[in-house]
Amino acid sequence: MSLTNLPQWHALQKHYQWMRHQNLNGLFKTNPNRFQNFSLNHADIFVDFSKNLIIQETIDLLIALATAAKLPEAMDALFKGESVNTTENLPALHPKLRDKTNQPLAFKTMYGLIEQIKQRPDIKHIIHLGIGGSYLGPKMAVYALAQAQTLQCHFISHIGDPILKELLETEPNHCLLIAASKSFNTIETIMNLKLVLAWFNKNKVSLADHCFAITQFPDKAKNLGIPERNILTLDAGIGGRYSLCSVMGLTLALMIGIEPFNQFLAGAYAMDQHFINAPLSKNIPVLLGLINLWYRNFYGSHATAILPYHSGLKYFPAYLQQLIMESQGKSIRIDRTPVDYATGPIVFGEFGLNAQHSFYQLLHQGTELIPIDFIMALHNPQLSEEQQQFMIANVLSQSRAFMTGKTTTCAHETLPGNRPSTILALTQLSPFTLGALVALYEHKVFVESVIWQINPFDQWSVNYGKQLCRDLLHHMKHKTIDPNMDDSTQGWLTLFQNINRFQR
Ligand code: F6P
C-alpha cells in the first residue's frame, strides 16, 4: 500500500492540522520537562531534540508510521546482509565492517601496508586521489582527527588542482600515492592518477614502494601498473558514500594510526548496536529520521542545515551532503512506481560561526522552514576555556533564538522564531565519537529511506552525466557536431571548435 494511503499517514496529517498552530515557546510552557523528555545519550553523543515541533503524540504517531512501513524488518534485513540495495541486488555491508567478529580480510592487508609505510622515513607527503565517497569521508575524518604531524596528507579530487601541480614539483621519492576509486573508471580520478604515474615513471620511482590503490576492481589498477600487493579490494556491497569504515579508510588509518582507527570503528559499532537494539521510541537515528520526515512531508520543508561548531568538523557538512542527497535524491520507489510525496531534502551547511555571518539571516527571517542540526563538542582541548565557552554559548543562543524569535515594534526587526533545531553534543571530537556520529547519520538516512520506500544505496543518475561527457569529449577532440544534439550544445561545440577566434 502506498505510504500516503496508510491510516498512520492520515493520522499524522490530522495531527499536523493541530500542531501547525502550536509554537515552541508554548510547548515548553505546557511541558516544562521537554529537555528531559526529548533528549537521549549514547556512544558519548548527547542529543537534545526538545526544540523540535513535536509533542509525545507526534513521536507516537511517527513510530506507528515507521512500524506500518516495516522499519524494524528493514533494519533486521540491513544487519543480516540481505540485498537491501534492490536495484543492484546487493547487500549494504557498512555495518558489518565495524563488527570485529567478522571484519573483512582486506583489513589485515591494510594494517600490514600501514605498518610498512610507517617504517618509511622517506615519505613526507600522502597524495590521496579520489572523489565523492572516495574523497569526502576520508578528507572529513583526517581533518577532524589527524593531529599535526610530519606526514602531510593532500586530498585531490578534481582536475587541475593547484595543490597537485605544486606536489608534482616536489621530490617524487618523498611522495606516496593512494588512488581511491571503487569503480576505478571515474574520469577525474583516473586522469589525475595517470598524471602522477607519469611523474613517478619519469623519475624512475618504484611503484611498489610509492603507489597504492583502493578499489572493487583490482585488475583495473594492476593494468595501470599498480602492484597487486599494494591494492586493497573493496567489496561490491560497500557503497561509496558508506565506505569510510572500510579499506577506503586507509588514508585515515595511516594518518591517525591503527588503534585510533579501530576506536573510530568501535564508535560506529556502538551506534550500530544502539540502532539495532534500542526501542524505536528511544532510538536516536530512528527519532531524528522521523522528525526530519515530519518536517519534509507534513511541514513541507525543503532543506536541512548542518551547522558544526567545532572547526575539526569543517568538512562534515560536505560529507553529509553526499551521504544524504545521493542516498535520498530519489523519486522512484523500490516497487518501481513514482513517489507521490517529497523525499530527500536539500542539505547544506558550514562551520557555525562562519554561517552566522553568511546565511543565518535567511534561517532567522526568511520564508523557508529549515530544520537545523547543531553539532558541538562539550570539551575541545584545542580551545582555551574562554573560546570553548564562546563556542557553546553560540550554539545555545542560536538554538534559543531560532526557537523564541524576537517581537519588536518594528516589523523588520521582528524574528518569527518557532524554527526547530536539534543539538548533537559529542563529549569530545575523537575517533570514537566521530565513528558514532557517522553511523548515526548513515542509519538516520536509512530510516527515512525505508519509510519513503526508496533505495538509499544506488545512484543511477550519476552515470548518465559521465556518458554524455564522454560523447562530448569525442566531438571536441574530433571537431565534429552531432545534429541530433540540442541547439545549445551544438552551439557550444561550434564555438569551442572556433575558440581561437574568441581568444584575446
Ligand atoms: O557520484 C557518483 C559516484 O559514483 C559516487 O557514488 C562515488 O562515491 C563517486 O562517484 C566516486 O566513485 P569511485 O569511488 O568509483 O571513483
Residue whose CB lies within 8 A of the most ligand 1 atoms, among 87, 181, 182, 243, for a mutation test: 182
* Interval between CA 127 and ligand 1 midpoint (Å): 18
SS3 label, residue 104: coil
> Which residues are part of the catalytic machinery?
326, 357, 466
Distance of alpha carbon 188 from alpha carbon 155, whole angstroms: 13
Q: Is the distance from the beta carbon of residue 237 to the nearest atom of ligand 1 less than 6 Å? A: no
Confidence of residue 87 (pLDDT cuts 50, 70, 90): very high
Strands 152-156 and 175-180: unpaired
Distance of alpha carbon 394 from alpha carbon 323, whole angstroms: 27
Nearest CA to ligand 1 atom 9: 132
Taking residues 288-308, report their average pLDDT. 98
Distance of alpha carbon 314 from alpha carbon 155, whole angstroms: 15
Residue 478 has pLDDT above 90, yes or no: yes
Residue 103 has pLDDT above 90, yes or no: no
Q: Is the distance from the beta carbon of residue 431 to the nearest atom of ligand 1 less than 6 Å? A: no
Nearest CA to ligand 1 atom 2: 462
Strands 125-129 and 39-42: unpaired
Distance of alpha carbon 156 from alpha carbon 139, whole angstroms: 10
Q: Is the distance from the beta carbon of residue 96 to the nearest atom of ligand 1 less than 6 Å? A: no
* Interval between CA 219 and ligand 1 midpoint (Å): 18
Ligand 1 closest atom vs CA 189: 16
* Interval between CA 284 and ligand 1 midpoint (Å): 28
* Interval between CA 133 and ligand 1 midpoint (Å): 6
Nearest CA to ligand 1 atom 11: 132
Distance of alpha carbon 263 from alpha carbon 497, whole angstroms: 55
* Interval between CA 134 and ligand 1 midpoint (Å): 7
Residue 503 has pLDDT above 70, yes or no: no
Which pLDDT belongs to residue 465?
84
- CA of 370: how far to CAs of 217, 279, 316, 420, 421, in Å? 41, 28, 18, 8, 9
Q: Is the distance from the beta carbon of residue 243 to the nearest atom of ligand 1 less than 6 Å? A: no
Q: In this predicted structure, which of 113-117, 352-356, 468-472 has the lowest mean pLDDT? A: 468-472
3-state SS, 51-79, equals CCCCCHHHHHHHHHHHHHCCHHHHHHHHH
Distance of alpha carbon 182 from alpha carbon 213, whole angstroms: 10
Confidence of residue 148 (pLDDT cuts 50, 70, 90): confident
Q: What is the pLDDT of residues 257-287, one digit of tens each?
A: 999 999 999 999 999 999 999 999 999 999 9
Residue 183 has pLDDT above 80, yes or no: yes
Which pLDDT belongs to residue 504?
58
Strands 211-215 and 231-233: parallel
Q: Is the distance from the beta carbon of residue 456 to the nearest atom of ligand 1 less than 6 Å? A: no
Taking residues 39-66, report their average pLDDT. 98
Which pLDDT belongs to residue 149?
77
The reported pTM is 0.97
Residue whose CB lies within 8 A of the most ligand 1 atoms, among 90, 94, 129, 131, for a mutation test: 131
Burial 414-447 (b: 16+ CB within 10 A, else e): eeebbbbbbbbbbeebbbbbbbbbbbbbbbbbbb
Could you tell me if 45 and 437 are in contact, meaning their C-beta atoms sit under 8 angstroms apart? yes
Which pLDDT belongs to residue 466?
81
Going through 189-302 in order, the beta strands assigned E by DSSP cover 211-215, 231-233
Which pLDDT belongs to residue 502?
61
Q: What is the pLDDT of residues 369-392, one digit of tens each?
A: 999 999 999 999 999 999 999 999
Which pLDDT belongs to residue 400?
98
Sign of the C-alpha dihedral computed for residues 334, 12, 59 and 27 taken in this order: positive
